[in-house]
Structure 1
């Protein structure tokens, strides 16, 4: 009797539940596809192989398969998850068997998010693979029983906690973290709107809100910021929890004693509101609150009430992480400033100046633009220190730097390269333009008022970057030109020779 006649032909494959099993195996490596066919083809009435999720989807569109086998070896989680997940989701609960390498078991929860799967951990040699698959086929890959209401509630609670914890990925930004957390809370069954209130700058602000309706809390609360002064702070659980630090549960809107607020909330499908205070780090006022608006009043289980506390503590942790991120960013900025800036004159120090010069040289070469370097130092500066004292010398250095900065363009960089020595990195500047700039600097500094001493002068050297010249070579030519200016009597400008 043939297969078409309806009689089981065990020689051609395993017979399960009155049907021959057809299979589709997916793996990008041809050698693995061939090895699977050799080991397991006898378990199927029909076995097809595909090298990608796209090819597998095309096969399934033409002809369904009783069992989908996903061999994850050689697939990349970051690149292939979405496509393989779509295959799992499209099965609608039909059997999916996953061969997962032990070195990357992160595949399993990621794929389970798309639908039910059965799996085995690899590597498996051919006999072991055949035995495992035969055992699964013999069991028939029975569809799991429908979950009980209790199981459904627990699954929803676990999903809420997982989604909320993922919001911590954005904890370096308090606003983005609040948005992600509210998005997760609004996905909890029964919640039609979720919001976070954050106590910062001395008052309470609506940090973020998410929901399926067009509800916006700011108009209902009669203000968008400084919410501790809202006339509804005694009635709306989100504000009350942030102000008092107590868990607030309004299971009937009329109990708050604000008929207009109750009517507005009902108009957006809200029947119950929960306020969860976000605890502070130690004693003191809360950091704010989480506010959950439900479409209908309900009783909460102990697990759900415990989850409220977990969510509030998670929100506190995320906000603290955001604060630490801002503090670290400010600290890094301060350290960077200290490491790159001269403490006396507040211009770039020598090390930072050398790095900036190399950057400008690369940019000039790439775009074929001129670049000039101007070096100058204060004439007879040691006499100022000896005659008037070092405090006056410090004033002179600051005055010279301030005078030079006032003349330079925003693209120019002033560097203190030594005691009384300075450099000007001038992008988009030729030698002739550099000479003009140097002459303006010489004249302006010569006229500058120096408290506590007479006027001072500077000598300057100018050089334009050569076609294949290094920064060191450019600096050497500038110093040579500066030395010629000194020998020429000081208070003058010299152009460097090529």
Structure 2
């Protein structure tokens, strides 16, 4: 069977991927910075309004609430006392509560909330819907936004049914219209983003399945071919050697004939687990086909690979793989030389495996240089 060699394939081991913990730590730092800046801006705003003589008891209470809430959230995030999702939901509820309280005071208690300006307040309310779609899931964000919109509608509806100030009534009606359009738009974009994520997940799963053996969950023949192509490219460019170990289960046909294919499948999976225990992190173990496996050993010479193969034979034979069924393996070892291609390297490893079978099985043999 011709090998599908992709020299540009990325290495299967040692890949540098962003760690989830690093992302969470970055988010935590950003949240701490936001709470710090919010507290500082609240102090500055309160000071400037007090100096300008435009403060009021209602605004003072709002400033006090912010000055208490932001340090509490800062302490909760810095001390990891609450999950970040809980902190985000508390911030959403706090912002909603502040806006709702200010709306109630301005519409129904003008003597106390007269200094509260509705125009800036109504500019902040749409931000709450955007925040809801950021911190919650696709469907949850819609439910939360509709609940918040219903809260503001319930607060303002009695005022609109009376004889309101035309100016305040106009702003309030426009707020609800803009809120409805904004929530619909956010839900549309959230749906689109979710479909993209599902499509990306499906593509990633298909890519994984195309390189994974269904039974053992090891890299399959295609992936092993790519890894060998990658190692050959490194060898040609940097002189970085590597070796192959081809593995075959001894008398595997007898196992299938005597005990059935389900037992044979269990033996293949058990061998995959035990072989991985004897390998380095950078080594790649894959299923070549049938009862044959291949190990790619980067930065390994022939002697090192042969010792590894002997140790692997002993490791597998030390105890039964499944139940009381003793199983042994034979190994053929080949290390890359300048004259090698992927086909010749696999051919020499396979010839060494045949020699191990001829010499009694449960052993490892090395191949002659190309």
Q: Does 1:347 align with 2:207?
A: no
Structure-2 separation of matches of 1:379 and 1:230: 63
Structure 2 CA distance for partners of 1:362 and 1:229, relative to 1, 3 Å: closer
3-state SS of 2:190 partner: helix
Aligned partner (choices 260, 269, 272) of residue 401 of structure 1:
272
Q: Does 1:238 align with 2:96?
A: yes
Aligned pair partner of 1:479 in 350, 354, 361? 350
For these two proteins, the number of residue pairs brought into alignment is 272
1:453-476 C-alpha deviation (Å, 9 max, x unpaired): 431111111111111421111101
Which residue does the alignment assign to 1:367? 238
Alignment match, 1:464: 335
Q: Work out the CA distance in 2 between the residues paired with 1:448 and 1:217.
A: 67
Q: CA 1:406/1:227 → structure 2, altered by over 3 Å: closer, same or farther?
A: closer
Unaligned 5+ runs, structure 1: 1-174, 180-206, 242-247, 291-296
**Cα distance in 1, alignment partners of residues 304 and 91 from structure 2:** 66
The 1:395–1:250 alpha-carbon spacing in structure 2 relative to 1, beyond 3 Å, is same
For 2:252, the equivalent position in structure 1 comes to 381
Decide whether aligned partners of structure 1 residues 370 and 451 sit closer, same or farther in structure 2, where only a CA change above 3 A counts: same
CA contact (8 A) 1:364 1:427 kept: no
Following TM superposition, by how much is the alpha carbon of 1:372 offset from its aligned partner in structure 2, in angstroms? 0.3
| More helix as a share of residues | 2
Q: Residues 435-489 of structure 1: CA distance to partner in whole angstroms, max 9, x if unpaired?
A: 1111111110111322244311111111111114211111011111111111111
Are 2:76 and 1:226 equivalent residues in the alignment? no
CA contact (8 A) 1:376 1:422 kept: yes
- Contact 2:142–2:187 (CA<8 Å) still a contact in 1? no
Deviation at 1:364, TM superposition (A): 2.6
Larger relative contact order (CA 8 Å, sep ≥ 6): 2
Alignment of 1:442 onto 2:302:
no
Q: Compared with structure 1, are the counterparts of its residues 232 and 238 closer, same or farther at alpha carbon in structure 2 (3 Å cutoff)?
A: closer
Deviates more, 1:343-352 or 1:221-230: 221-230
**Length-normalised TM-score, structure 2:** 0.61
Find 1:274's aligned residue among 100, 103, 125: 125
SS of equivalent residue, structure 1 residue 332: helix
Gaps of 5+ in 2: 1-22, 28-33, 43-65, 74-83, 150-166
Aligned-pair CA distance for 1:283: 12
Distance (whole Å) between structure 2 residues aligned to residue 321 and residue 450 of structure 1: 49
Shift of 1:250: 4.6
Which one is further off, 310-319 or 363-372?
A: 310-319
Choose from 261, 275, 285 the match for 2:143.
285
Contact 1:458/1:492 (8 A) holds in 2: yes
**How far apart, in 2, do the equivalents of 1:457 and 1:391 lie?**
18
| Equivalent residues in 2 for 1:257-272, closer than 5 Å | none
**Is this contact kept in 2: 1:388–1:452, CA < 8 A?**
no
Report Cα offsets for 1:123-175 as digits up to 9, x if no partner: xxxxxxxxxxxxxxxxxxxxxxxxxxxxxxxxxxxxxxxxxxxxxxxxxxxx9
Q: Give the one of 303, 317, 334 matched to 1:432.
A: 303
Q: Distance in 1 between matches of 2:140 and 2:92?
A: 28
Cα 1:227/1:496, change in 2 over 3 Å: closer
CA shift in 2, pair 1:228/1:477, >3 Å: closer
In structure 2, the residue matched to 1:488 is 359
For residue 338 of structure 1, report the CA deviation from its aligned partner: 1.9
Offset, 1:345 = 1.2
The range that moved more, 468-477 or 411-420, is 468-477
**Deviation, structure 1 residue 323:** 2.9
Q: Given the superposition, is the C-alpha separation of residues 328 and 219 from structure 1 closer, same or farther in structure 2, using an over 3 Å criterion?
A: farther
Per-residue CA deviations over 1:278-308 (Å, capped at 9, x if unaligned) read 7976997246879xxxxxx975387775443
Contact 1:237 1:249 in 2 (8 A): no
Paired residue secondary structure (2:267): helix
8 Å contact 1:347–1:416 — kept in the other structure?
Answer: yes
Aligned CA distance change for structure 1 residues 360 and 219 (closer, same or farther; 3 Å): farther
Larger radius of gyration: 1
Distance in 1, matches of 2:313 and 2:193, equals 49
Q: 1:390 to 1:317 in 2, by over 3 A?
A: same
Distance 1:399 1:271 in 2: 65
Are residue 327 (structure 1) and residue 198 (structure 2) matched?
Answer: yes
Pairing 1:313–2:169 present: no
